[in-house]
């Protein structure tokens, strides 16, 4: 990946925008993980699968967060999107 600008060249507002994109991606990833990688707590509760609609919404949110993340990176840091990063055909969403 090639970078056109260095992070230290960004204004305070641009760094905040980049931070928010990173945070949204982390939050969406954690939300999907919480729905799919549930460890049972012995003696307390039994994990139940999340409804399909909930999983689909979390997956879509993660995908949109990833799109926003790369859009912000491209816009602010002038970096190229890795080949196939958001390619739905690749099977890696």
Measured at the CA of 31, the angle between CA 15 and CA 25, to 5 degrees, comes to 25
Q: Is 79 part of any domain?
A: yes
Q: Does residue 75 fall inside a structural domain?
A: yes
- 44: in domain: no
What gap in Å lies between CA 61 and CA 16, rounded to an integer? 21
Distance CA(15)–CA(12), nearest Å, equals 5
pLDDT in tens, 26-51: 999 999 998 988 777 677 777 778 89
25/34 Cα distance (integer angstroms): 14
With respect to residue 42, please indicate whether it lies within any of the assigned structural domains: no
State both tokens at 61. 């949110």
pLDDT tens digits along 14-32: 999 999 999 999 999 999 9
Range of the domain at 75: 10-37+49-90
Give domain status of residue 5, yes or no.
Answer: no
Q: Is residue 15 part of a domain?
A: yes
- Quick one: pLDDT band at residue 80, thresholds 50, 70, 90? confident
Contact predicate 82/1, CB 8 Å: yes
């Amino acid at each position: 990946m090639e970078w056109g600008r260095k992070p230290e060249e960004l204004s305070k507002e641009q760094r905040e925008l980049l931070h928010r994109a990173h945070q949204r991606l982390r939050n969406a990833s954690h939300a999907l993980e919480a729905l799919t990688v549930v460890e049972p707590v012995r003696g307390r509760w039994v994990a139940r699968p999340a409804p399909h609609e909930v999983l689909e919404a979390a997956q879509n949110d993660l995908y949109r967060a990833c799109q926003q993340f790369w859009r912000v990176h491209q816009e602010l840091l002038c970096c190229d999107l890795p080949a196939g990063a958001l390619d739905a055909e690749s099977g890696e969403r």
